[in-house]
Amino acid sequence: MADPKGFLTHRERENRPSRPVPVRIQDWKEVHGEQDTKVLQRQAGRCMDCGIPFCHTGCPLGNLIPEWNDHTRRANFADAIERLHATNNFPEFTGRLCPAPCETACVLGINQPPVTIKQIEVSIIDRAFSNGRVTPQEPEWLSGRTVAVVGSGPAGLAAAQQLGRAGHTVVVHERSDAVGGLLRYGIPEFKMEKSVLDRRLVQLRGEGIRFVTGMTVGGDGPDDLSLADLRERFDAVVLATGSTVPRMLDVPGADLDGVHAAMDYLVPANREALGSERGIDAEGKDVVIIGGGDTGADCLGTAHRHGARSVTQLEILPTPPADRPASQPWPTYPMLYKVSEAHEEGGERAYGVSTVEVLGQDGRVSGLRLADARFVDGRVELVPGTEREIPAQLVLLAMGFVGPDETAAPADVVPRTTRNTYERDASFATPLEGVFAAGDCGRGQSLIVWAIAEGRAAAAAVDRYLTGTTTLPAPVRPTDRPLTV
């Protein structure tokens, strides 16, 4: 039972403390610090334990938010983590990285700032790790069935953990040198330190999940296996290969030196944060990031840490509103002007602009020619007379991803949808017998919370395929979409 007056006595949100900008841009460590227990209890006490908790509808995992809010209010962290883990394998990832659609759906958000659900989530799981409450949950018996998971991002990890707990023997195949997908080398250390991922992997290994890294399924290395090999050796295969093909810029000069896909910049920067040599260097340069989303913001924070002279982020869409427009009412997830931690650290943002040409000198990028853009009948039109040039010695393309690459499952083996994702039915099964698909490779570029939810749901489908029945939860269907307008 919630505190009946909590939301009246504490009307304000108290956010997680963050390190000062001038300090944090000197290193790669996480921006946020730990929340004080008293503040956390106060914030959890603002939850009204609604009769219809709309926060549940906002969360693809169906997290039992009012239950763990109440345990947190009472500082009962042992029960809080039990309730949190009941629906989410990796709350330390979502608690740090999720855009929190639960908060925009929170009933309190109708006339007050919503409950600080995300920071309560991360505080519960971080305390659980500190207190030794995250231990391997080994299955009671083994089914004798085997499953190959391809890709070790959040979808692959969630599917592997669920299937392992159901008694199946699971091997995760990953082409990178380390496990984690975008959590490892995409998302920067300052948003989530890799040690947070590593401590969870200790649990998965303890549960019997095996990881093979440096193995490209469909690759031509001496140790690589093909999808056909996996089908022969395992009873089922889960493709969780992510959405890895970047959308590229199609204007004159886009092939000049110094123009890179965002991941070509972020991957080495993530390795640098762990002690490797610097890859693409932004130091002293005017950096322009094309694309106004999460990936662009990660490039922004990284460029500041590299000591860029200036950083400008361009977005073709018009400036979003600061507050909910009437067309995006509660409890939908509104498209608002977002100030992420990276934006707090500086840089310029320009909305409603399109790149007309990449300018160069001696084969290297020296600037961009831009023009204002407007949408007419769903098509982009350049506004006459608005062309101008800006300097740039490094241009990063963060315009999204257009589906899985061809390596693991070429389109003639696993058919693609019109969105270039793997075709699959209502039970996550591709047309290839015994082959399932979960996460961004099936849904298209999305979020960690959806990847975990899909991994859990696909695991339930695979368990049913292998045994004829399942008790594993299936929080989402392949066709489910976020609660947006």
Ligand X SMILES: Cc1cc2nc3c(=O)[nH]c(=O)nc-3n(C[C@H](O)[C@H](O)[C@H](O)COP(=O)(O)OP(=O)(O)OC[C@H]3O[C@@H](n4cnc5c(N)ncnc54)[C@H](O)[C@@H]3O)c2cc1C
Contact 157, 202 (CB under 8 A): no
Q: Which of 60, 101, 114, 153 contacts ligand X by CB under 6 A? A: 153
Dihedral, CA of residue 48, residue 52, residue 56 and residue 57, to nearest 10: -140
Closest approach, Cβ 33 to ligand X, in A, equals 18
Beta-sheet pairing, 353-361 with 364-376 = antiparallel
Task: Report the residue number, 47 or 236, with the smaller CB distance to ligand SF4.
Answer: 47
Of these partners, ligand SF4, ligand X, none, which one is at the site of residue 107 (CB under 5 to 8 Å by kind)? ligand SF4
Q: Is 189 in the site for ligand X (CB under 6 A)?
A: no
Q: Is 396 in the site for ligand X (CB under 6 A)?
A: no
Of these partners, ligand X, ligand SF4, none, which one is at the site of residue 153 (CB under 5 to 8 Å by kind)? ligand X
Q: Is 458 in the site for ligand X (CB under 6 A)?
A: no
Is the sign of the CA dihedral 125, 128, 129, 134 positive or negative? negative
Contact code string over 272-311 relative to ligand X, x by CB under 6 A: ----------------------xx--x-------------
Contact 289, 296 (CB under 8 A): yes
Dihedral, CA of residue 414, residue 428, residue 94 and residue 308, to nearest 10: 20
Of these partners, ligand X, ligand SF4, none, which one is at the site of residue 47 (CB under 5 to 8 Å by kind)? ligand SF4
Closest approach, Cβ 54 to ligand SF4, in A, equals 5
Closest approach, Cβ 199 to ligand SF4, in A, equals 27
Measure Cα distances from 403 to 88, 242, 409, 418 in Å.
Answer: 25, 7, 12, 10
Task: Report the residue number, 73 or 430, with the smaller CB distance to ligand X.
Answer: 430
Closest approach, Cβ 44 to ligand SF4, in A, equals 9
Crossing angle, helix 294-306 and helix 262-273, to 10 degrees? 50
Size of the site for ligand X (CB under 6 A): 38
Q: Which of 54, 53, 79, 71 is nearest to 1 (CA)?
A: 71
Closest approach, Cβ 48 to ligand SF4, in A, equals 4
What is the contact surface with ligand SF4 in residues (CB under 6 A)?
47-50, 53-55, 65-66, 69, 106-108, 115, 117
> Rounded to whole angstroms, how far apart are CA atoms 358 and 256?
8
> Rounded to whole angstroms, how far apart are CA atoms 288 and 59?
34
Contact 53, 47 (CB under 8 A): no
95: its two tokens = 């608690």
Site for ligand X in 255-274 (CB under 6 A): 266
For every residue of 21-83, DSSP letters joined together read HHHHTTS-S-SB-PPPHHHHHHHHTT----SS-HHHHH-TT---HHHHHHHHHTT-HHHHHHH
Site for ligand X in 81-120 (CB under 6 A): 97-98
Q: Which of 63, 72, 152, 355 contacts ligand X by CB under 6 A? A: 152
Q: Is 181 in the site for ligand X (CB under 6 A)?
A: yes
> Rounded to whole angstroms, how far apart are CA atoms 73 and 80?
10
Q: Which residues contact 435 (CB under 8 A, 6 or more apart)?
A: 227, 231, 236, 237, 238, 239, 409, 414, 429
133-141, 234-242, 284-292, 329-337 -> range binding ligand X (CB under 6 A): 234-242
Closest approach, Cβ 104 to ligand SF4, in A, equals 10
Q: Is 69 in the site for ligand X (CB under 6 A)?
A: no
CB burial of residue 220 (10 Å; 0-12, 13-18, 19+): exposed
Q: Is 444 in the site for ligand X (CB under 6 A)?
A: no
Of these partners, ligand SF4, ligand X, none, which one is at the site of residue 447 (CB under 5 to 8 Å by kind)? ligand X
Task: Report the residue number, 114 or 478, with the smaller CB distance to ligand SF4.
Answer: 114
Q: Which of 394, 408, 429, 458 contacts ligand X by CB under 6 A? A: 408
- Contact footprint for ligand X (CB under 6 A): 97-98, 150-156, 173-176, 181-182, 186-187, 191, 216-218, 240-242, 244, 266, 294-295, 298, 407-408, 439-440, 446-449, 451
